[in-house]
Structure 1
Protein backbone atom coordinates (compact mmCIF):
# COMPACT_ATOMS: atom_id res chain seq x y z
CA UNK A 1 0.00 0.00 0.00
CA UNK A 2 1.25 3.50 -0.85
CA UNK A 3 1.18 6.62 1.24
CA UNK A 4 0.86 10.08 -0.25
CA UNK A 5 3.00 12.79 1.35
CA UNK A 6 2.79 16.52 0.77
CA UNK A 7 5.81 18.56 1.77
CA UNK A 8 7.04 22.11 1.57
CA UNK A 9 10.65 23.18 1.36
CA UNK A 10 12.65 26.38 1.36
CA UNK A 11 16.34 27.19 1.22
CA UNK A 12 18.83 29.64 -0.24
CA UNK A 13 18.67 29.27 -4.01
CA UNK A 14 21.53 27.31 -5.54
CA UNK A 15 21.99 24.60 -8.17
CA UNK A 16 21.12 21.10 -7.01
CA UNK A 17 18.37 21.73 -4.43
CA UNK A 18 15.69 19.88 -6.37
CA UNK A 19 18.13 17.08 -7.19
CA UNK A 20 18.92 16.53 -3.48
CA UNK A 21 15.24 16.20 -2.64
CA UNK A 22 14.55 13.98 -5.67
CA UNK A 23 17.55 11.81 -4.75
CA UNK A 24 16.04 11.03 -1.34
CA UNK A 25 12.62 10.28 -2.82
CA UNK A 26 14.17 7.97 -5.40
CA UNK A 27 16.36 6.25 -2.79
CA UNK A 28 13.15 5.32 -0.94
CA UNK A 29 11.42 4.12 -4.13
CA UNK A 30 9.07 7.11 -3.99
CA UNK A 31 7.32 8.62 -6.95
CA UNK A 32 7.18 12.40 -7.50
CA UNK A 33 3.55 13.15 -8.38
CA UNK A 34 3.19 16.93 -8.64
CA UNK A 35 4.87 20.12 -7.47
CA UNK A 36 5.11 23.88 -7.69
CA UNK A 37 8.47 25.59 -7.14
CA UNK A 38 9.78 29.13 -7.45
CA UNK A 39 12.75 31.34 -6.64
CA UNK A 40 11.81 34.50 -4.73
CA UNK A 41 14.30 37.03 -3.39
CA UNK A 42 17.17 34.55 -3.32
CA UNK A 43 15.15 31.76 -1.68
CA UNK A 44 13.93 28.67 -3.52
CA UNK A 45 10.63 27.31 -2.22
CA UNK A 46 8.23 24.63 -3.26
CA UNK A 47 5.44 22.30 -2.42
CA UNK A 48 5.32 18.77 -3.72
CA UNK A 49 3.33 15.56 -3.45
CA UNK A 50 5.00 12.17 -3.59
CA UNK A 51 3.82 8.62 -3.11
CA UNK A 52 5.89 6.02 -1.33
CA UNK A 53 5.34 2.50 -0.07
CA UNK A 54 3.91 2.63 3.44
CA UNK A 55 6.91 0.76 4.87
CA UNK A 56 9.24 3.47 3.47
CA UNK A 57 7.26 6.49 4.73
CA UNK A 58 9.08 7.06 8.02
CA UNK A 59 12.56 6.53 6.58
CA UNK A 60 11.75 8.98 3.75
CA UNK A 61 10.51 11.51 6.32
CA UNK A 62 13.77 11.22 8.25
CA UNK A 63 15.88 11.46 5.07
CA UNK A 64 14.09 14.60 3.88
CA UNK A 65 14.25 16.24 7.30
CA UNK A 66 17.98 15.44 7.45
CA UNK A 67 18.43 17.83 4.52
CA UNK A 68 18.15 20.62 7.11
CA UNK A 69 21.89 20.14 7.59
CA UNK A 70 22.22 21.43 4.00
CA UNK A 71 20.09 24.51 4.69
CA UNK A 72 16.74 23.17 3.54
CA UNK A 73 13.71 23.55 5.77
CA UNK A 74 11.21 20.79 5.01
CA UNK A 75 7.76 20.23 6.48
CA UNK A 76 5.86 17.03 5.69
CA UNK A 77 2.20 16.08 6.01
CA UNK A 78 0.32 12.92 5.12
CA UNK A 79 -1.96 13.76 2.22
CA UNK A 80 -5.69 13.59 2.69
CA UNK A 81 -6.75 12.45 -0.75
CA UNK A 82 -10.47 12.64 -0.05
CA UNK A 83 -12.34 14.43 -2.80
CA UNK A 84 -15.07 16.84 -1.81
CA UNK A 85 -18.58 15.78 -2.75
CA UNK A 86 -19.61 19.42 -3.15
CA UNK A 87 -20.16 20.45 -6.76
CA UNK A 88 -17.86 23.26 -7.81
CA UNK A 89 -17.21 25.25 -10.95
CA UNK A 90 -13.57 26.05 -11.75
CA UNK A 91 -12.93 29.70 -12.62
CA UNK A 92 -10.03 32.04 -13.25
CA UNK A 93 -9.69 35.28 -11.36
CA UNK A 94 -7.32 37.96 -12.65
CA UNK A 95 -6.37 41.17 -10.86
CA UNK A 96 -4.39 44.14 -12.15
CA UNK A 97 -3.93 47.56 -10.62
CA UNK A 98 -1.68 50.01 -8.88
CA UNK A 99 0.17 48.25 -6.09
CA UNK A 100 -0.83 49.07 -2.53
CA UNK A 101 -1.11 47.21 0.78
CA UNK A 102 -4.23 45.13 1.34
CA UNK A 103 -5.10 43.93 -2.17
CA UNK A 104 -4.73 40.20 -1.45
CA UNK A 105 -6.43 40.60 1.92
CA UNK A 106 -9.52 42.33 0.52
CA UNK A 107 -9.95 39.91 -2.38
CA UNK A 108 -9.34 36.80 -0.26
CA UNK A 109 -11.86 38.07 2.32
CA UNK A 110 -14.53 38.40 -0.41
CA UNK A 111 -13.74 34.90 -1.66
CA UNK A 112 -14.00 33.49 1.87
CA UNK A 113 -17.36 35.17 2.45
CA UNK A 114 -18.66 33.39 -0.65
CA UNK A 115 -17.03 30.05 0.38
CA UNK A 116 -14.79 30.12 -2.69
CA UNK A 117 -11.70 27.95 -2.53
CA UNK A 118 -8.40 29.22 -3.97
CA UNK A 119 -6.74 26.26 -5.69
CA UNK A 120 -3.71 28.06 -7.08
CA UNK A 121 -2.52 31.65 -7.10
CA UNK A 122 0.44 33.56 -8.43
CA UNK A 123 1.18 37.24 -8.08
CA UNK A 124 3.91 39.73 -8.85
CA UNK A 125 4.68 43.40 -8.97
CA UNK A 126 5.79 44.98 -12.24
CA UNK A 127 6.25 48.43 -13.74
CA UNK A 128 3.53 49.93 -15.92
CA UNK A 129 4.72 50.26 -19.51
CA UNK A 130 3.98 53.95 -20.03
CA UNK A 131 4.05 55.52 -16.56
CA UNK A 132 6.51 53.27 -14.74
CA UNK A 133 4.06 53.05 -11.81
CA UNK A 134 4.22 49.88 -9.73
CA UNK A 135 1.48 47.46 -10.78
CA UNK A 136 0.18 44.48 -8.83
CA UNK A 137 -0.88 41.49 -10.94
CA UNK A 138 -2.42 38.25 -9.75
CA UNK A 139 -3.94 35.20 -11.38
CA UNK A 140 -5.88 32.65 -9.34
CA UNK A 141 -7.60 29.39 -10.07
CA UNK A 142 -10.66 29.19 -7.83
CA UNK A 143 -13.57 26.84 -7.27
CA UNK A 144 -17.02 28.38 -7.11
CA UNK A 145 -19.52 26.31 -5.11
CA UNK A 146 -22.70 25.50 -7.02
CA UNK A 147 -24.55 27.53 -4.38
CA UNK A 148 -22.62 30.77 -4.97
CA UNK A 149 -24.62 33.71 -6.25
CA UNK A 150 -22.43 34.89 -9.14
CA UNK A 151 -24.05 38.36 -9.20
CA UNK A 152 -23.36 38.91 -5.49
CA UNK A 153 -19.77 37.76 -5.95
CA UNK A 154 -19.21 40.09 -8.89
CA UNK A 155 -20.80 42.98 -6.95
CA UNK A 156 -18.44 42.34 -4.02
CA UNK A 157 -15.40 42.17 -6.33
CA UNK A 158 -16.54 45.28 -8.24
CA UNK A 159 -16.76 47.15 -4.94
CA UNK A 160 -13.19 46.12 -4.08
CA UNK A 161 -12.04 47.03 -7.60
CA UNK A 162 -13.57 50.50 -7.27
CA UNK A 163 -12.18 51.02 -3.76
CA UNK A 164 -8.63 49.93 -4.67
CA UNK A 165 -8.54 51.09 -8.33
CA UNK A 166 -8.16 47.56 -9.70
CA UNK A 167 -9.39 45.57 -12.64
CA UNK A 168 -10.79 42.26 -11.39
CA UNK A 169 -12.07 39.73 -13.91
CA UNK A 170 -13.81 36.43 -13.18
CA UNK A 171 -13.73 34.05 -16.15
Structure 2
Protein backbone atom coordinates (compact mmCIF):
# COMPACT_ATOMS: atom_id res chain seq x y z
CA UNK A 1 0.00 0.00 0.00
CA UNK A 2 1.32 3.44 -0.93
CA UNK A 3 1.72 6.25 1.56
CA UNK A 4 2.35 9.91 1.03
CA UNK A 5 5.61 11.40 2.25
CA UNK A 6 6.42 15.12 2.28
CA UNK A 7 9.96 16.43 2.53
CA UNK A 8 11.52 19.86 2.47
CA UNK A 9 15.07 20.63 1.48
CA UNK A 10 17.37 23.62 1.61
CA UNK A 11 20.92 23.99 0.41
CA UNK A 12 23.29 26.08 -1.62
CA UNK A 13 22.08 26.23 -5.22
CA UNK A 14 24.00 24.14 -7.71
CA UNK A 15 23.32 22.20 -10.91
CA UNK A 16 22.04 18.66 -10.42
CA UNK A 17 20.36 19.17 -7.06
CA UNK A 18 16.88 18.26 -8.28
CA UNK A 19 18.26 15.29 -10.21
CA UNK A 20 19.97 14.02 -7.04
CA UNK A 21 16.68 14.14 -5.13
CA UNK A 22 14.74 12.56 -8.01
CA UNK A 23 17.29 9.74 -8.28
CA UNK A 24 16.89 8.88 -4.60
CA UNK A 25 13.09 8.92 -4.86
CA UNK A 26 13.14 6.71 -7.97
CA UNK A 27 15.78 4.35 -6.52
CA UNK A 28 13.40 3.66 -3.62
CA UNK A 29 10.37 3.07 -5.87
CA UNK A 30 8.88 6.44 -4.98
CA UNK A 31 6.63 8.39 -7.29
CA UNK A 32 7.26 12.16 -7.39
CA UNK A 33 3.73 13.63 -7.16
CA UNK A 34 4.11 17.36 -6.73
CA UNK A 35 6.64 19.95 -5.68
CA UNK A 36 7.40 23.64 -5.29
CA UNK A 37 10.99 24.81 -5.56
CA UNK A 38 12.79 28.10 -5.86
CA UNK A 39 16.19 29.75 -5.69
CA UNK A 40 16.51 32.65 -3.25
CA UNK A 41 19.72 34.47 -2.37
CA UNK A 42 21.92 31.63 -3.60
CA UNK A 43 19.97 28.97 -1.71
CA UNK A 44 17.69 26.42 -3.34
CA UNK A 45 14.65 25.33 -1.35
CA UNK A 46 11.70 23.12 -2.00
CA UNK A 47 8.91 20.99 -0.74
CA UNK A 48 8.09 17.68 -2.40
CA UNK A 49 5.31 15.13 -2.00
CA UNK A 50 6.01 11.57 -3.07
CA UNK A 51 4.03 8.35 -2.99
CA UNK A 52 5.99 5.36 -1.73
CA UNK A 53 5.16 1.85 -0.62
CA UNK A 54 4.91 1.67 3.17
CA UNK A 55 7.66 -0.95 3.22
CA UNK A 56 10.06 1.51 1.52
CA UNK A 57 9.38 4.60 3.67
CA UNK A 58 12.22 4.06 6.14
CA UNK A 59 14.82 3.36 3.45
CA UNK A 60 13.73 6.37 1.39
CA UNK A 61 13.75 8.59 4.47
CA UNK A 62 17.24 7.43 5.45
CA UNK A 63 18.53 7.97 1.90
CA UNK A 64 17.12 11.49 1.79
CA UNK A 65 18.55 12.32 5.22
CA UNK A 66 21.96 11.11 4.07
CA UNK A 67 22.03 14.20 1.82
CA UNK A 68 22.73 16.27 4.94
CA UNK A 69 26.43 15.42 4.49
CA UNK A 70 26.20 16.93 0.98
CA UNK A 71 25.09 20.27 2.43
CA UNK A 72 21.33 19.82 2.16
CA UNK A 73 19.02 20.20 5.11
CA UNK A 74 16.19 17.69 4.77
CA UNK A 75 13.01 17.45 6.87
CA UNK A 76 10.55 14.60 6.32
CA UNK A 77 6.93 14.27 7.45
CA UNK A 78 4.24 11.74 6.64
CA UNK A 79 1.58 13.13 4.34
CA UNK A 80 -2.03 13.22 5.41
CA UNK A 81 -4.95 12.68 3.10
CA UNK A 82 -6.67 15.74 1.73
CA UNK A 83 -10.19 16.42 2.96
CA UNK A 84 -13.06 15.83 0.59
CA UNK A 85 -13.49 18.78 -1.81
CA UNK A 86 -16.80 19.85 -0.25
CA UNK A 87 -15.30 19.90 3.25
CA UNK A 88 -12.67 22.43 2.27
CA UNK A 89 -14.93 25.44 1.83
CA UNK A 90 -14.34 27.92 -0.96
CA UNK A 91 -11.05 29.07 -2.35
CA UNK A 92 -10.16 32.73 -2.70
CA UNK A 93 -7.25 34.48 -4.34
CA UNK A 94 -5.55 37.69 -3.31
CA UNK A 95 -3.27 39.92 -5.34
CA UNK A 96 -1.33 42.48 -3.32
CA UNK A 97 0.66 45.29 -4.93
CA UNK A 98 2.13 48.46 -3.47
CA UNK A 99 5.21 50.31 -2.38
CA UNK A 100 7.40 47.96 -0.38
CA UNK A 101 7.27 48.44 3.38
CA UNK A 102 7.54 46.27 6.48
CA UNK A 103 4.33 44.73 7.77
CA UNK A 104 2.36 43.97 4.60
CA UNK A 105 2.50 40.18 4.98
CA UNK A 106 1.90 40.40 8.73
CA UNK A 107 -1.24 42.53 8.41
CA UNK A 108 -2.78 40.54 5.55
CA UNK A 109 -2.04 37.19 7.18
CA UNK A 110 -3.51 38.45 10.46
CA UNK A 111 -6.75 39.40 8.69
CA UNK A 112 -6.93 35.95 7.12
CA UNK A 113 -6.29 34.21 10.45
CA UNK A 114 -9.03 36.22 12.17
CA UNK A 115 -11.52 34.60 9.78
CA UNK A 116 -9.87 31.15 10.03
CA UNK A 117 -8.80 31.39 6.37
CA UNK A 118 -5.94 29.03 5.58
CA UNK A 119 -3.17 30.11 3.20
CA UNK A 120 -2.66 27.31 0.67
CA UNK A 121 0.01 28.95 -1.45
CA UNK A 122 1.78 32.28 -1.48
CA UNK A 123 4.44 33.80 -3.67
CA UNK A 124 5.89 37.26 -3.26
CA UNK A 125 8.66 39.34 -4.70
CA UNK A 126 10.03 42.84 -4.96
CA UNK A 127 9.95 44.53 -8.36
CA UNK A 128 10.69 48.03 -9.56
CA UNK A 129 7.97 50.52 -10.43
CA UNK A 130 8.02 51.26 -14.16
CA UNK A 131 8.35 55.03 -14.02
CA UNK A 132 9.99 55.78 -10.66
CA UNK A 133 12.05 52.65 -10.07
CA UNK A 134 10.72 52.50 -6.49
CA UNK A 135 10.58 49.08 -4.86
CA UNK A 136 7.15 47.45 -5.24
CA UNK A 137 5.96 44.53 -3.15
CA UNK A 138 3.79 42.05 -5.05
CA UNK A 139 2.18 38.89 -3.71
CA UNK A 140 -0.22 36.26 -4.98
CA UNK A 141 -2.08 34.25 -2.34
CA UNK A 142 -4.40 31.26 -2.70
CA UNK A 143 -6.39 30.57 0.44
CA UNK A 144 -9.11 28.25 1.66
CA UNK A 145 -12.14 29.90 3.26
CA UNK A 146 -14.06 27.83 5.83
CA UNK A 147 -17.73 27.15 5.28
CA UNK A 148 -19.76 30.11 6.49
CA UNK A 149 -16.92 32.61 6.11
CA UNK A 150 -18.22 36.15 5.57
CA UNK A 151 -16.65 37.28 2.28
CA UNK A 152 -17.88 40.87 2.73
CA UNK A 153 -16.25 41.07 6.16
CA UNK A 154 -13.00 39.76 4.67
CA UNK A 155 -13.09 42.38 1.93
CA UNK A 156 -13.80 45.12 4.48
CA UNK A 157 -10.84 44.13 6.67
CA UNK A 158 -8.51 43.87 3.65
CA UNK A 159 -9.73 47.26 2.34
CA UNK A 160 -8.84 48.81 5.70
CA UNK A 161 -5.35 47.27 5.53
CA UNK A 162 -4.92 48.42 1.94
CA UNK A 163 -5.81 51.98 2.93
CA UNK A 164 -3.59 51.92 6.02
CA UNK A 165 -0.54 50.57 4.15
CA UNK A 166 -1.26 52.29 0.83
CA UNK A 167 -1.32 49.05 -1.19
CA UNK A 168 -3.85 47.50 -3.56
CA UNK A 169 -5.43 44.22 -2.45
CA UNK A 170 -7.71 42.49 -4.94
CA UNK A 171 -9.75 39.54 -3.68
CA UNK A 172 -11.49 37.10 -6.00
TM-score (norm 1): 0.97
3-state DSSP of counterpart to 1:34: strand
- Stretches of structure 2 that go unaligned for 5 or more consecutive residues are none
Q: How much does 1:127 deviate?
A: 0.7
**Which residue of structure 2 aligns with residue 100 of structure 1?**
101
Q: Report the Cα distance in structure 1 between the residues aligned to 2:107 and 2:128, rounded to whole angstroms.
A: 22
Q: How much does 1:69 deviate?
A: 1.0
Q: Does 1:25 align with 2:39?
A: no
Q: Is the Cα contact below 8 Å between 2:38 and 2:44 reproduced in 1?
A: yes
**Which residue of structure 1 aligns with residue 7 of structure 2?**
7
Q: Report the Cα distance in structure 1 between the residues aligned to 2:118 and 2:153, rounded to whole angstroms.
A: 16
Matches within 5 A, 1:65-76: 65-76=65-76
Q: Report the Cα distance in structure 1 between the residues aligned to 2:147 and 2:83, rounded to whole angstroms.
A: 16
Matches within 5 A, 1:6-155: 6-83=6-83, 86-155=87-156
Deviations 1:74-132 (A, max 9, x none): 00000011416634111210000010111000000000001111111000001100011
TM-score (norm 2): 0.96
- Stretches of structure 1 that go unaligned for 5 or more consecutive residues are none
3-state DSSP of counterpart to 2:161: helix
Q: Is the Cα contact below 8 Å between 2:88 and 2:144 reproduced in 1?
A: no
**Which residue of structure 1 aligns with residue 171 of structure 2?**
170
Q: Report the Cα distance in structure 2 between the residues aligned to 1:159 and 1:57, rounded to whole angstroms.
A: 48
